[in-house]
Amino acid sequence: MNDFRDKWISNFRERLQNTGFSLEEQQSHVELLSSLLDGLADTDLQGHYDQAAEVLSARLFSHQNLLGVIRQQASELDAVKRLTYSLTTNLELQSVLDNVVAEAMQLVKNARNAHIYLYQNDVLRFGASLDGHGKRNEESWPPRKDGLTYTVARSKETRVIENLLADPLFKGMPQDWHGSMISIPLMMAGSVIGVMNLSRWLVGSFSSAELRLLQLLADQAAIAIINARLHEAVSRQALSDTLTGLPNRRALDRYLDHQVARSMRTGRPFGVLMMDLDGFKKINDTWGHAIGDRVLHDIAVFMASTSRASDFLARYGGDELSMVLPDADAQAAARVADNIQQRFASYSCFLPDGSVARLGISGGIAIYPTHARSAADLLRAADEALYRAKKHARGSFLIARGFTGEMQVPNIKG
Protein backbone atom coordinates (compact mmCIF):
# COMPACT_ATOMS: atom_id res chain seq x y z
CA MET A 1 0.00 0.00 0.00
CA ASN A 2 2.80 2.41 0.90
CA ASP A 3 4.48 1.78 -2.48
CA PHE A 4 1.32 2.85 -4.31
CA ARG A 5 0.99 5.92 -2.08
CA ASP A 6 4.59 7.01 -2.61
CA LYS A 7 4.24 6.52 -6.37
CA TRP A 8 1.19 8.76 -6.65
CA ILE A 9 2.71 11.45 -4.43
CA SER A 10 5.90 11.41 -6.53
CA ASN A 11 3.88 11.69 -9.78
CA PHE A 12 1.76 14.46 -8.34
CA ARG A 13 4.83 16.38 -7.18
CA GLU A 14 6.33 16.21 -10.69
CA ARG A 15 3.14 17.56 -12.26
CA LEU A 16 3.09 20.47 -9.78
CA GLN A 17 6.61 21.49 -10.79
CA ASN A 18 5.27 22.48 -14.20
CA THR A 19 2.76 24.91 -12.69
CA GLY A 20 3.31 28.47 -11.52
CA PHE A 21 2.94 27.50 -7.87
CA SER A 22 5.59 28.51 -5.38
CA LEU A 23 7.48 25.78 -3.52
CA GLU A 24 5.35 26.50 -0.46
CA GLU A 25 2.14 26.13 -2.46
CA GLN A 26 3.37 22.91 -4.09
CA GLN A 27 4.17 21.43 -0.69
CA SER A 28 0.71 22.40 0.57
CA HIS A 29 -0.91 20.49 -2.35
CA VAL A 30 1.30 17.44 -1.74
CA GLU A 31 0.43 17.37 1.96
CA LEU A 32 -3.28 17.54 1.12
CA LEU A 33 -3.04 14.60 -1.33
CA SER A 34 -0.99 12.63 1.18
CA SER A 35 -3.64 13.12 3.82
CA LEU A 36 -6.41 12.02 1.45
CA LEU A 37 -4.48 8.91 0.38
CA ASP A 38 -3.89 7.96 4.01
CA GLY A 39 -7.64 8.11 4.48
CA LEU A 40 -8.19 5.53 1.72
CA ALA A 41 -6.65 2.87 3.93
CA ASP A 42 -9.65 3.09 6.24
CA THR A 43 -12.31 2.79 3.52
CA ASP A 44 -13.82 0.04 1.38
CA LEU A 45 -11.80 1.32 -1.60
CA GLN A 46 -8.60 -0.44 -0.59
CA GLY A 47 -9.01 -2.89 -3.43
CA HIS A 48 -9.28 -0.06 -5.93
CA TYR A 49 -6.55 2.10 -4.39
CA ASP A 50 -4.88 2.83 -7.73
CA GLN A 51 -8.08 4.03 -9.33
CA ALA A 52 -9.11 6.12 -6.29
CA ALA A 53 -5.69 7.72 -6.13
CA GLU A 54 -5.92 8.64 -9.81
CA VAL A 55 -9.28 10.33 -9.25
CA LEU A 56 -8.04 12.27 -6.20
CA SER A 57 -4.88 13.37 -7.96
CA ALA A 58 -6.76 14.49 -11.05
CA ARG A 59 -9.40 16.37 -9.03
CA LEU A 60 -6.81 18.19 -6.92
CA PHE A 61 -4.87 19.17 -10.00
CA SER A 62 -7.94 20.38 -11.94
CA HIS A 63 -9.15 22.40 -8.95
CA GLN A 64 -5.82 23.99 -8.18
CA ASN A 65 -7.23 27.50 -8.74
CA LEU A 66 -10.03 26.82 -6.26
CA LEU A 67 -7.52 25.62 -3.70
CA GLY A 68 -5.53 28.80 -4.24
CA VAL A 69 -8.63 30.88 -3.60
CA ILE A 70 -9.38 28.94 -0.44
CA ARG A 71 -5.84 29.47 0.81
CA GLN A 72 -6.04 33.16 -0.03
CA GLN A 73 -9.30 33.53 1.87
CA ALA A 74 -7.86 31.67 4.83
CA SER A 75 -4.86 34.00 4.76
CA GLU A 76 -7.14 37.03 4.64
CA LEU A 77 -9.18 35.74 7.57
CA ASP A 78 -5.98 35.35 9.58
CA ALA A 79 -5.04 38.90 8.66
CA VAL A 80 -8.48 40.19 9.72
CA LYS A 81 -8.14 38.42 13.05
CA ARG A 82 -4.69 39.90 13.59
CA LEU A 83 -5.81 43.41 12.63
CA THR A 84 -8.83 43.30 14.92
CA TYR A 85 -6.77 42.15 17.87
CA SER A 86 -3.96 44.61 17.23
CA LEU A 87 -6.21 47.66 16.96
CA THR A 88 -8.68 46.90 19.77
CA THR A 89 -6.30 46.01 22.60
CA ASN A 90 -4.84 49.51 23.04
CA LEU A 91 -6.49 52.86 23.72
CA GLU A 92 -3.37 55.04 23.64
CA LEU A 93 -3.45 57.05 20.41
CA GLN A 94 0.24 56.85 19.50
CA SER A 95 0.30 53.10 20.08
CA VAL A 96 -2.75 52.72 17.84
CA LEU A 97 -1.08 54.69 15.04
CA ASP A 98 2.14 52.71 15.40
CA ASN A 99 0.18 49.45 15.16
CA VAL A 100 -1.64 50.61 12.02
CA VAL A 101 1.53 51.35 10.04
CA ALA A 102 3.10 48.10 11.26
CA GLU A 103 0.09 46.11 10.04
CA ALA A 104 0.05 47.96 6.72
CA MET A 105 3.65 46.97 6.04
CA GLN A 106 2.74 43.30 6.50
CA LEU A 107 -0.19 43.36 4.08
CA VAL A 108 1.70 44.31 0.91
CA LYS A 109 4.69 42.61 -0.69
CA ASN A 110 7.77 44.77 -1.31
CA ALA A 111 6.39 47.53 0.92
CA ARG A 112 8.78 50.48 1.27
CA ASN A 113 7.10 52.59 3.96
CA ALA A 114 3.74 53.46 5.51
CA HIS A 115 2.57 56.78 6.92
CA ILE A 116 -0.49 57.98 8.78
CA TYR A 117 -1.58 61.59 8.99
CA LEU A 118 -4.40 62.87 11.19
CA TYR A 119 -6.76 65.34 9.52
CA GLN A 120 -8.71 68.12 11.23
CA ASN A 121 -9.86 71.58 10.12
CA ASP A 122 -8.28 71.04 6.69
CA VAL A 123 -4.87 70.49 8.27
CA LEU A 124 -2.84 67.26 8.16
CA ARG A 125 -0.74 66.41 11.20
CA PHE A 126 1.90 63.67 11.20
CA GLY A 127 0.83 60.62 13.19
CA ALA A 128 3.17 57.68 12.63
CA SER A 129 5.42 56.01 10.07
CA LEU A 130 7.42 52.85 9.53
CA ASP A 131 9.80 51.85 6.75
CA GLY A 132 11.19 48.55 5.57
CA HIS A 133 14.31 48.99 7.71
CA GLY A 134 12.30 49.31 10.90
CA LYS A 135 12.72 53.09 11.31
CA ARG A 136 9.71 54.57 13.06
CA ASN A 137 8.07 57.98 13.08
CA GLU A 138 10.39 59.88 10.75
CA GLU A 139 8.57 62.34 8.51
CA SER A 140 10.90 62.87 5.56
CA TRP A 141 8.49 64.81 3.32
CA PRO A 142 5.63 66.81 4.94
CA PRO A 143 2.43 66.76 2.84
CA ARG A 144 2.12 69.49 0.22
CA LYS A 145 -1.16 71.36 -0.10
CA ASP A 146 -1.39 70.25 -3.73
CA GLY A 147 0.04 66.79 -3.09
CA LEU A 148 -1.46 63.32 -2.88
CA THR A 149 -2.28 63.19 0.83
CA TYR A 150 -4.20 66.48 0.87
CA THR A 151 -5.95 65.51 -2.37
CA VAL A 152 -7.19 62.26 -0.81
CA ALA A 153 -8.21 63.99 2.43
CA ARG A 154 -10.33 66.55 0.58
CA SER A 155 -11.80 64.23 -2.04
CA LYS A 156 -12.51 61.40 0.44
CA GLU A 157 -11.45 58.95 -2.26
CA THR A 158 -8.71 56.33 -2.38
CA ARG A 159 -5.97 57.01 -4.91
CA VAL A 160 -3.60 54.44 -6.40
CA ILE A 161 -0.47 55.77 -8.11
CA GLU A 162 0.97 52.94 -10.22
CA ASN A 163 4.12 54.83 -11.22
CA LEU A 164 5.28 57.65 -8.95
CA LEU A 165 7.77 59.09 -11.44
CA ALA A 166 5.11 59.39 -14.15
CA ASP A 167 2.33 60.93 -12.03
CA PRO A 168 1.78 64.75 -12.07
CA LEU A 169 1.22 64.80 -8.29
CA PHE A 170 4.87 63.79 -7.83
CA LYS A 171 6.36 66.15 -10.37
CA GLY A 172 9.69 67.51 -9.17
CA MET A 173 10.18 64.83 -6.52
CA PRO A 174 13.55 63.03 -6.18
CA GLN A 175 14.30 60.26 -8.68
CA ASP A 176 14.60 57.68 -5.93
CA TRP A 177 10.85 58.10 -5.38
CA HIS A 178 10.17 55.32 -7.83
CA GLY A 179 7.59 52.58 -7.41
CA SER A 180 3.88 52.80 -6.63
CA MET A 181 1.70 54.10 -3.79
CA ILE A 182 -1.80 53.85 -2.40
CA SER A 183 -3.40 56.59 -0.31
CA ILE A 184 -6.59 55.77 1.62
CA PRO A 185 -8.81 58.19 3.59
CA LEU A 186 -9.66 57.10 7.13
CA MET A 187 -13.40 57.75 7.34
CA MET A 188 -15.83 57.93 10.23
CA ALA A 189 -19.48 58.92 9.77
CA GLY A 190 -18.72 60.50 6.40
CA SER A 191 -15.84 62.62 7.68
CA VAL A 192 -12.13 62.17 7.02
CA ILE A 193 -10.14 61.86 10.25
CA GLY A 194 -6.86 60.85 8.64
CA VAL A 195 -5.03 59.46 5.63
CA MET A 196 -2.96 56.29 5.36
CA ASN A 197 -0.24 56.11 2.71
CA LEU A 198 1.67 52.99 1.72
CA SER A 199 4.40 52.92 -0.92
CA ARG A 200 6.30 50.02 -2.42
CA TRP A 201 9.28 49.58 -4.66
CA LEU A 202 7.39 47.93 -7.54
CA VAL A 203 5.61 49.79 -10.32
CA GLY A 204 2.08 48.64 -11.12
CA SER A 205 -1.31 48.04 -9.56
CA PHE A 206 -2.07 46.45 -6.21
CA SER A 207 -3.76 43.05 -6.14
CA SER A 208 -7.45 42.78 -5.27
CA ALA A 209 -6.54 40.97 -2.05
CA GLU A 210 -4.14 43.76 -1.05
CA LEU A 211 -6.75 46.41 -1.79
CA ARG A 212 -9.39 44.57 0.28
CA LEU A 213 -7.09 44.14 3.27
CA LEU A 214 -5.77 47.71 3.15
CA GLN A 215 -9.32 49.08 3.03
CA LEU A 216 -10.26 46.84 5.94
CA LEU A 217 -7.23 48.14 7.85
CA ALA A 218 -8.26 51.73 7.09
CA ASP A 219 -11.79 51.09 8.38
CA GLN A 220 -10.48 49.45 11.56
CA ALA A 221 -7.92 52.23 12.02
CA ALA A 222 -10.57 54.94 11.86
CA ILE A 223 -12.59 53.23 14.61
CA ALA A 224 -9.48 52.69 16.75
CA ILE A 225 -8.41 56.34 16.37
CA ILE A 226 -11.84 57.63 17.43
CA ASN A 227 -11.86 55.29 20.43
CA ALA A 228 -8.37 56.42 21.43
CA ARG A 229 -9.38 60.08 21.15
CA LEU A 230 -12.47 59.51 23.29
CA HIS A 231 -10.35 57.70 25.87
CA GLU A 232 -7.85 60.54 25.84
CA ALA A 233 -10.60 63.16 26.28
CA VAL A 234 -12.24 61.27 29.15
CA SER A 235 -8.88 60.75 30.85
CA ARG A 236 -8.01 64.43 30.46
CA GLN A 237 -11.41 65.45 31.81
CA ALA A 238 -11.00 63.14 34.79
CA LEU A 239 -7.69 64.84 35.65
CA SER A 240 -8.82 68.45 35.09
CA ASP A 241 -10.69 70.89 37.31
CA THR A 242 -13.79 72.01 35.42
CA LEU A 243 -13.80 75.52 36.94
CA THR A 244 -10.20 76.61 36.54
CA GLY A 245 -8.99 74.26 33.82
CA LEU A 246 -6.01 73.38 36.01
CA PRO A 247 -5.05 69.80 36.89
CA ASN A 248 -7.20 68.56 39.78
CA ARG A 249 -6.35 66.82 43.04
CA ARG A 250 -6.19 63.40 41.37
CA ALA A 251 -3.73 64.69 38.78
CA LEU A 252 -1.69 66.33 41.56
CA ASP A 253 -1.47 63.06 43.50
CA ARG A 254 -0.29 61.22 40.38
CA TYR A 255 2.31 63.83 39.60
CA LEU A 256 3.61 63.84 43.16
CA ASP A 257 3.96 60.05 43.12
CA HIS A 258 5.95 60.38 39.89
CA GLN A 259 8.21 63.03 41.43
CA VAL A 260 8.80 60.96 44.56
CA ALA A 261 9.87 57.98 42.41
CA ARG A 262 12.07 60.25 40.29
CA SER A 263 13.69 61.81 43.37
CA MET A 264 14.43 58.39 44.84
CA ARG A 265 16.05 57.38 41.56
CA THR A 266 18.10 60.54 40.96
CA GLY A 267 18.71 61.79 44.51
CA ARG A 268 17.49 65.29 43.55
CA PRO A 269 14.96 67.09 45.79
CA PHE A 270 11.74 68.78 44.74
CA GLY A 271 9.43 71.28 46.38
CA VAL A 272 5.72 71.80 46.96
CA LEU A 273 3.94 75.10 47.53
CA MET A 274 0.48 75.14 49.10
CA MET A 275 -1.23 78.51 48.51
CA ASP A 276 -4.44 80.14 49.71
CA LEU A 277 -6.02 83.37 48.48
CA ASP A 278 -6.32 86.09 51.13
CA GLY A 279 -9.61 88.01 50.87
CA PHE A 280 -11.32 85.56 48.54
CA LYS A 281 -13.96 84.58 51.14
CA LYS A 282 -15.11 88.21 51.35
CA ILE A 283 -15.75 88.27 47.58
CA ASN A 284 -17.77 85.07 47.82
CA ASP A 285 -19.78 86.37 50.79
CA THR A 286 -20.44 89.76 49.16
CA TRP A 287 -21.04 88.85 45.54
CA GLY A 288 -21.96 85.18 45.62
CA HIS A 289 -20.32 82.08 44.27
CA ALA A 290 -20.87 82.91 40.61
CA ILE A 291 -18.62 85.97 40.87
CA GLY A 292 -16.28 84.09 43.17
CA ASP A 293 -15.94 81.33 40.60
CA ARG A 294 -15.12 83.85 37.88
CA VAL A 295 -12.47 85.48 40.04
CA LEU A 296 -10.96 82.09 40.92
CA HIS A 297 -10.88 81.12 37.24
CA ASP A 298 -9.16 84.39 36.27
CA ILE A 299 -6.58 83.98 39.04
CA ALA A 300 -5.83 80.42 37.93
CA VAL A 301 -5.27 81.63 34.36
CA PHE A 302 -3.01 84.41 35.66
CA MET A 303 -1.00 82.03 37.84
CA ALA A 304 -0.62 79.49 35.02
CA SER A 305 0.54 82.16 32.57
CA THR A 306 3.24 83.45 34.92
CA SER A 307 4.57 80.11 36.21
CA ARG A 308 7.65 78.40 34.80
CA ALA A 309 7.19 75.71 32.15
CA SER A 310 8.71 73.10 34.48
CA ASP A 311 6.32 73.83 37.37
CA PHE A 312 3.10 71.89 37.91
CA LEU A 313 0.19 74.09 39.07
CA ALA A 314 -3.00 72.41 40.29
CA ARG A 315 -6.18 73.24 42.15
CA TYR A 316 -6.05 71.50 45.51
CA GLY A 317 -9.60 72.42 46.54
CA GLY A 318 -11.67 75.51 47.30
CA ASP A 319 -9.39 78.52 46.82
CA GLU A 320 -6.25 76.53 47.59
CA LEU A 321 -3.70 76.01 44.82
CA SER A 322 -0.69 73.69 44.80
CA MET A 323 2.51 74.00 42.82
CA VAL A 324 5.13 71.26 42.43
CA LEU A 325 8.68 72.45 41.71
CA PRO A 326 10.88 69.71 40.18
CA ASP A 327 14.58 69.73 41.17
CA ALA A 328 14.03 72.52 43.70
CA ASP A 329 15.62 72.76 47.13
CA ALA A 330 14.46 75.15 49.86
CA GLN A 331 16.32 78.16 48.43
CA ALA A 332 14.96 77.59 44.92
CA ALA A 333 11.41 77.15 46.27
CA ALA A 334 11.82 80.38 48.28
CA ARG A 335 12.74 82.27 45.12
CA VAL A 336 9.66 80.93 43.30
CA ALA A 337 7.45 81.89 46.26
CA ASP A 338 8.93 85.39 46.31
CA ASN A 339 8.31 85.75 42.57
CA ILE A 340 4.66 84.68 43.03
CA GLN A 341 4.17 87.31 45.73
CA GLN A 342 5.69 90.04 43.57
CA ARG A 343 3.49 89.18 40.61
CA PHE A 344 0.40 88.88 42.79
CA ALA A 345 1.01 92.33 44.25
CA SER A 346 0.22 93.85 40.85
CA TYR A 347 -2.83 91.68 40.17
CA SER A 348 -6.34 93.06 40.58
CA CYS A 349 -9.82 91.88 39.66
CA PHE A 350 -12.87 93.95 38.72
CA LEU A 351 -16.15 93.44 40.54
CA PRO A 352 -19.71 93.97 39.23
CA ASP A 353 -20.02 97.45 40.81
CA GLY A 354 -16.89 98.62 38.97
CA SER A 355 -14.68 98.48 42.03
CA VAL A 356 -11.28 96.82 42.02
CA ALA A 357 -10.37 94.07 44.46
CA ARG A 358 -6.80 93.24 45.35
CA LEU A 359 -6.25 89.83 46.83
CA GLY A 360 -3.27 88.57 48.75
CA ILE A 361 -1.72 85.13 48.82
CA SER A 362 -0.31 83.05 51.67
CA GLY A 363 1.61 79.84 51.31
CA GLY A 364 3.52 76.95 52.79
CA ILE A 365 6.68 75.32 51.45
CA ALA A 366 7.76 71.69 51.88
CA ILE A 367 10.77 69.94 50.34
CA TYR A 368 11.17 66.26 49.56
CA PRO A 369 12.86 64.38 51.19
CA THR A 370 13.69 66.96 53.91
CA HIS A 371 10.17 67.27 55.27
CA ALA A 372 8.53 64.00 54.27
CA ARG A 373 9.15 60.55 52.84
CA SER A 374 5.88 60.23 50.89
CA ALA A 375 3.71 62.38 48.63
CA ALA A 376 0.82 62.49 51.11
CA ASP A 377 3.08 63.50 54.02
CA LEU A 378 4.74 66.16 51.87
CA LEU A 379 1.35 67.75 51.13
CA ARG A 380 0.48 67.66 54.81
CA ALA A 381 3.78 69.32 55.69
CA ALA A 382 3.18 72.12 53.17
CA ASP A 383 -0.43 72.46 54.31
CA GLU A 384 0.69 72.79 57.94
CA ALA A 385 3.08 75.57 56.94
CA LEU A 386 0.24 77.28 55.04
CA TYR A 387 -1.97 77.07 58.13
CA ARG A 388 0.73 78.77 60.22
CA ALA A 389 1.13 81.48 57.57
CA LYS A 390 -2.61 82.17 57.50
CA LYS A 391 -2.73 82.34 61.28
CA HIS A 392 0.47 84.19 62.15
CA ALA A 393 1.97 85.71 58.99
CA ARG A 394 -0.80 86.32 56.47
CA GLY A 395 0.51 87.32 53.07
CA SER A 396 3.78 85.39 53.43
CA PHE A 397 5.19 81.94 52.71
CA LEU A 398 6.44 79.79 55.60
CA ILE A 399 8.68 76.73 55.42
CA ALA A 400 7.49 73.40 56.80
CA ARG A 401 8.77 71.88 60.04
CA GLY A 402 10.03 68.45 59.09
CA PHE A 403 12.31 65.62 60.10
CA THR A 404 15.37 67.86 60.49
CA GLY A 405 13.49 70.51 62.44
CA GLU A 406 12.58 73.98 61.29
CA MET A 407 14.86 75.12 58.49
CA GLN A 408 16.34 78.60 58.35
CA VAL A 409 15.99 79.89 54.81
CA PRO A 410 16.99 83.44 53.79
CA ASN A 411 14.00 85.82 53.27
CA ILE A 412 11.53 83.12 54.34
CA LYS A 413 9.85 83.20 57.72
CA GLY A 414 9.94 79.97 59.69
Is residue 411 situated within a structural domain? no
Instruction: Name the pLDDT band for 405 (thresholds 50, 70, 90).
Output: very low
Q: Kindly report the pTM of this predicted structure.
A: 0.54
Dihedral, 268, 374, 257, 240 alpha carbons, nearest 10: -120
182-216 pLDDT per residue, tens: 999 999 999 999 999 999 999 999 988 889 889 98
**Count of domains for the chain:** 3
Q: Specify the length of the chain in residues.
A: 414
Confirm whether 75 is domain-assigned: no
d(CA 275, CA 293) in angstroms, rounded, equals 17
The verdict on residue 199 lying in a domain is yes
Domain boundary among 236, 270, 288: 236
270 found inside a domain = yes
3-state secondary structure of 253: helix
Return the minimum-mean-pLDDT range out of 103-112, 181-190, 321-330.
103-112
- The pLDDT assigned to 41 comes to 61
Is the pLDDT reported for residue 105 higher than 50?
A: yes
Q: Is residue 83 part of a domain?
A: no
Q: Which domain holds residue 224?
A: 90-236
Q: Is residue 48 part of a domain?
A: yes
Q: What percent of the chain has pLDDT over 90?
A: 45
In whole numbers, what is the pLDDT of the chain averaged over residues? 84
Give CA–CA dist 181/199, Å, rounded. Answer: 4
Higher pLDDT, 10 or 323: 323
Task: Check whether residue 253 and residue 397 sit in a common domain.
Answer: yes
Local confidence band at 307 (pLDDT 50, 70, 90 cut-offs): confident
According to DSSP, the β-strands at 360-368 and 397-399 are parallel
3-state helix vs strand vs coil in the chain, percent to 5: 50, 20, 30
CA–CA distance, 347 with 90 (Å, rounded to integer): 46
Comparing CA positions, the residue from 258, 249, 389, 367 lying closest to residue 318 is 249
**For position 187, which CATH number holds?**
3.30.450.40
Q: Is residue 267 part of a domain?
A: yes
Give residue 75's identity as a one-letter amino acid code: S
Same domain, yes or no, for 227 and 319? no
Q: Do 275 and 348 lie in a common domain? A: yes
264 and 394 housed in the same domain: yes
Listed residues 204, 236, 268: the one ending a domain? 236
Q: Are residues 6 and 127 in the same domain?
A: no
CATH of the domain at 346: 3.30.70.270
Contacts of 3 (CB under 8 A, 6+ apart): none
